[in-house]
Structure 1
Amino acid sequence: MPPSPNHSATDDNTTRRFFFFEKLIHWLIAIAMLVLLATGTILFVPALTAHFPRPLINRLHIDSGITATVIMLLALVGPWGRALRRDLHELMIAPLDQLNSWTGVIGDWLHRATPSTEGEEPEKFNVGQRLFTAGMAALAVLAVLTGFALRTPGRIPTSIQGGAEFTHEIVFLAIAALVVGHVIKAILSFREKRGLGKRSSS
């Protein structure tokens, strides 16, 4: 079977799902995310905060968040990001194009990620990956907006500042839960462990 436009055939009858640039972006963002979560945990837990220099941890937290955001934006907008934009389209945009109802959107979105019947090429992304990407995208936007609000004290009303802080903490916990689940799944599942490598095209 010929490979789809999203995949590239290799000599050993397998399909390479991701190439060097995509894997590089994944790991750069992963490193920034780990620093972001580690510093966020220290800032979130008073017992830990007392053992670390808060100004330094706060600076690392902000810088890692900015770094992850900049890496993703540069990866998507540059000419080198064609494959990433195609993946994003498959993950989140294409399923919305031809549907009118929210129920239909969800049903078709998940159906595209279910295992294909025999003789059909499987989708590049499964249900879990689609849901993970959608959740992380929404949470990342909230994290950036609320984080920016927290960095501009005095420029916004106190009530909004308090709401932003509360929301930022909830978003942090949600992102941490998603990342932990993502890592555990990658470790336990053979297919997930090879998610940045090769997959059979049959």
Structure 2
Amino acid sequence: MHRPPPEPGERYRFTVVERWVHRTTSTLMMTAIVTAACLYLPFLAEIVGRRRLLVVIHEWSGILLPAPLLAGIFFRSLRADLTRLNRFGPQDSGWAWRAVRHGTRAAGPAGKFNAGQKLFSAFIAGAVLVMVGTGLIMWFPHLSALTVRTGASFVHDWLALVVGILVIGHIRMALKDPEARHGMRTGRVSRAWAKREHALWTEDEEQGEKHGREQEPSAGR
């Protein structure tokens, strides 16, 4: 996918496809979380009402959660970032522990995604699959035994609580970093931020740019 050159002092971080996958997935996730809260918390249920409508919205937002990623998988940029998210390198060893103790900036250099982002993505991906599976069991109760439905409901409810807490933490971290939000909104980040927060990725990008400049004279001959 062709993309125009970034503004001076900026670096591309995410393509349009990646940003829309993130945006639609987060919208579906927040819809599922909010409707779940309205269904399970009595004071919210009384305020909102319309329980049947909430159930329908919750069911469909949950079942559609994997859809944006499945659609985006056909694009090379998203597949490349999924590969980065699924690979833990030497720089990731102990990163999360150091980040908890001293903050992300003191945790050491990171690639395009730090270890915390990789762990979060891996957990959410697995949790979505489990939530969709257990949700389908509860959606079609006549297809499984009572013990299966009871176990599915238990797993679904408690995993939903964990996911909700982690998503709130994810949002809290994003609110503390306006540059990261700008990157997800526009696809571009400042080179200074990239070098400070994702030094290893910046080095790889600079090497790629240098290699590209070296190849240009050869291509012009």
TM-score between the two structures when normalised by the length of structure 1? 0.77
Task: State the one-letter code of the partner of 1:198.
Answer: V
Tell me how far 1:127 sits from its aligned partner. Answer: 2.1
Aligned equivalents of 1:135 and 1:195: distance in 2?
23
Percent of paired sites with the same residue: 27
Aligned equivalents of 2:112 and 2:66: distance in 1?
24
The equivalent position to 2:39 in structure 1, one of 38, 43, 51, is: 43
Q: Secondary structure in 1 aligned to 2:11?
A: strand
Tell me if structure 1 keeps the 8 A contact 2:131–2:159.
yes
Tell me if structure 1 keeps the 8 A contact 2:13–2:189.
yes
The equivalent position to 2:146 in structure 1, one of 158, 165, 188, is: 158
Aligned equivalents of 2:64 and 2:142: distance in 1?
25
Alpha-carbon spacing, 1:194–1:131, altered in 2? closer, same or farther (3 Å): farther
Is 1:69 aligned to residue 66 of structure 2? yes
Supply the RMSD in Å over aligned alpha carbons.
Answer: 2.7
Tell me if structure 2 keeps the 8 A contact 1:25–1:71.
yes
Structure 1 gap segments, 5+ residues each: 1-7, 97-103, 117-121
Task: State the one-letter code of the partner of 1:159.
Answer: T
Alignment-derived partner of residue 133 in structure 1: 121
Alpha-carbon spacing, 1:88–1:170, altered in 2? closer, same or farther (3 Å): same
Larger radius of gyration: 2
Aligned equivalents of 1:108 and 1:95: distance in 2?
11
Alignment-derived partner of residue 51 in structure 2: 54
Alignment-derived partner of residue 90 in structure 1: 84
Alignment-derived partner of residue 215 in structure 2: none
Aligned equivalents of 2:79 and 2:23: distance in 1?
17
Q: Deviations over 1:10-37 (max 9, x none)?
A: 3524321102221112111111111111
Alignment-derived partner of residue 5 in structure 1: none
Tell me how far 1:72 sits from its aligned partner. Answer: 1.7
The equivalent position to 1:198 in structure 2, one of 189, 204, 211, is: 189
Tell me how far 1:163 sits from its aligned partner. Answer: 0.7
Is 1:20 aligned to residue 8 of structure 2? no
Structure 2 gap segments, 5+ residues each: 99-103, 196-221
Tell me if structure 1 keeps the 8 A contact 2:9–2:190.
no
The equivalent position to 2:156 in structure 1, one of 168, 174, 178, is: 168
Task: State the one-letter code of the partner of 2:177.
Answer: S
Tell me how far 1:68 sits from its aligned partner. Answer: 2.2
